[in-house]
Amino acid sequence: MPRRPRLELPGIPMHITHRGNNRCAVFLDDQDFSHYLQSLSDALALENIQLHAYALMSNHVHLLITAVSPGQFSRATAATCAINAQFIIARAGVA
């Protein structure tokens, strides 16, 4: 069963979590963490989203964000995850 759509209320802070598949590690070293933070920062700035707090663990992420309009965070997340996945795949020499 798919997860329910996220309730996005403009101007209301949201606690967001992201996990690796099967809770596997998504960050292997400091370079992965740094690259994710830069990608996230760029995507949030592009969408004009405020980041209040974050916690990065090896297998998941917690974000406290506030968006101005619905859909902004979904676009920022898609961009961040795609860029980060490409980075990790390129580093691993896959494809």
The highest-confidence range among 49-58, 67-76, 82-91, by mean pLDDT, is 49-58
Domain layout of the chain by residue ranges: 14-92
> Does the domain at residues 14-92 carry the CATH identifier 3.40.630.30?
no
The pLDDT tens digits of the residues spanning 15-51 come to 988 887 888 888 888 998 999 999 999 999 999 999 9
Q: What is the pTM of this model?
A: 0.82
Q: CA-CA-CA-CA torsion for 5, 40, 57, 91, nearest 10 degrees? A: 110
pLDDT for residue 93:
76
Structure tokens at 70: 């619905």
Structure tokens at 42: 């760029």
